[in-house]
Amino acid sequence: MTKLTINRRRFLGTAAIGAATLASPAYLRRASASGGEVNIWTYNDFVPEAFKKQFEADTGIKVNIRLVDDQGKQFNLLAAEAPNPTVDIMTVAGHRFLQFIDSELLAPLDTGRLSNWGNINPTFSESDWSTINGHKWGAPILSGMEVLAYNTELVTPEEARSWDVLFSEKYKGQTAYIIQDMMSIVMLKMGYDGNMVAYLDDPEKAAAIVEEAKAFLIEKKPLVRKYYDSGAEVQQMFINQDIALGHSWNGPAAALINDGFPLAMTIPQEGSYGFVYTYNIANNAPNPDNAYTFLNAILASPEIGASMTKASGFISTYKDASNYLTDLEKKSTSFSDDELENLQFFRAEANEMKYGLVDPAVEAIKAA
């Protein structure tokens, strides 16, 4: 039998480790026993690499990330795998919730299992779009918006006050936009509800509005250099100076600004739309406990939120995340009160009618 000897230093050390273990978040204690894996579908840079490594080391849970670049593709992939998906957590934009929920692809989020839920800014976690059918469906992580981005060496801030500059002869062949998103913006610019919620009871008017926006974009087609699809494309076009200005998501534009590219972005006076990316748990997820462990861990501190902003350029939904950003990063992720006053979030209520009208219109514009 080995004689147990303990000295003062070892005792203090053991006591400290014990205290740290007891004080560590509940997710670590639960997960250390579980191990296994968690499968995540998300956009590039939405899970910070340092956080992933730390989480895997702390919990023994392997994080498998599959990159996505499109909400529609993600929906189709998940629908094809239903009712037994391979994914645990996916990244759905808030205004697309309804479609996923209607198809029974998401599980309601049990916020009671997320002790760090309170770290999210209530503007995002408690806003009207975040509760559907009496449930929360996702943990907001990053916020984005449709902005007008412009090369500051070629376009003046005064010119960029209105979306009209995107359709001006002066910048013919030097503009680009995502045509699907531009449909909503053009409707807003024309004084209509780009979310189309206002026309839920009047489908004829909705069709007429979409027709008007379609006709406008067909008329302006000779002015545009490129209809693009992904953030990387618009960044490439700005860097190559193929375009002087364009509609963009704030994330890709902010990333260029942070890299020192002479770019600025604004929410024009006619207004624009915002959206929120959320982490959601799939219905019948194969590793639900690990999914909750991951969600609670990623919501644990504002530094994690800030690192997601640094990597993606989108605005963190975490309280106090901006405290961990540099001045340039703060500048590239903040807007004036006047600009934010013109911002409204995408809504999902009329999505079926909206996309039923907008998708064929987009095809018609491309084909024209």
Partner 1 sequence: MSDGVAPRTGRGPDTTEKNRLTFWGALSSWTPYRLVVGLATASPRRQFLILAAFPLLWVLTQHLGPMLQMLRVSFTDAYPVAPGVEQHFTLDNYARFFGDHIFWQPFFRTLIFASVFTFCTLILTYPVAYFLARHVSRKNQMLMLLLLLIPFWVGEIVRTYAIMILLGNTGAVNQLLKSLSLIDRPIPFMYTSFSMGVGIVYLTALYMLLPLYSALEKLPKSYNEAAADLGASAWTRFRRITLPLTLEGISSGCTLVFLISTGFYATPVLLGGPSTTVFAETIAGFFHVAGDEWPTGAAFATIMFLAAIILTGAFQKLMNSLRKGDTN
Contacts with partner 1, residue ranges (CB under 8 A): 70-73, 75-76, 79-80, 82-83, 96, 99, 103-104, 173, 221, 224-227, 229, 233, 236, 239-242, 355, 359-360, 362-364, 366-368
What string of H, E and C letters represents the secondary structure of the chain?
CCCCCCCHHHHHHHHHHHHHHHHCCHHHHHHHHHCCEEEEEECCCCCCHHHHHHHHHHHCCEEEEEECCCHHHHHHHHHHHCCCCCCCEEEEEHHHHHHHHHCCCECCCCHHHCCCHHHECHHHHCCHHHEECCEECCEEEEEEEEEEEEECCCCCCCHHHCHHHHHCHHHCCCEEECHHHHHHHHHHHCCCCCCCHHHCCCHHHHHHHHHHHHHHHHHCHHHCCEECCCHHHHHHHHHCCCCCEEEEEHHHHHHHHHCCCCEEEECCCCCEEEEEEEEEEECCCCCHHHHHHHHHHHCCCHHHHHHHHHHHCCEECECCHHHHCCHHHHHHCCCCHHHHHCEEECCCCCHHHHHHHHHHHHHHHHHC
When the beta carbons of 93 and 343 are compared against partner 1, the nearer one is 93
Taking the complex as a whole, how short is the minimal distance between the CB of residue 100 and partner 1, in angstroms?
9
Of the two residues 223 and 311, which places its CB atom closer to partner 1 in the complex?
223
Question: Minimum CB separation from partner 1 for residue 149, in Å?
Answer: 17
Measured from the CB of residue 86, what is the shortest distance to partner 1 in angstroms?
14
Nearer to partner 1, 190 or 368 (CB): 368
Closest distance of CB 289 from partner 1, Å: 24
Q: Which is nearer to partner 1, 104 or 126 (CB)?
A: 104
Residue among 244 and 254 whose Cβ is closer to partner 1 = 244
Closer residue to partner 1 (CB): 52 or 225: 225
Closest separation between CB of residue 31 and partner 1, Å?
31
CB of 277 to partner 1, least distance (A): 16
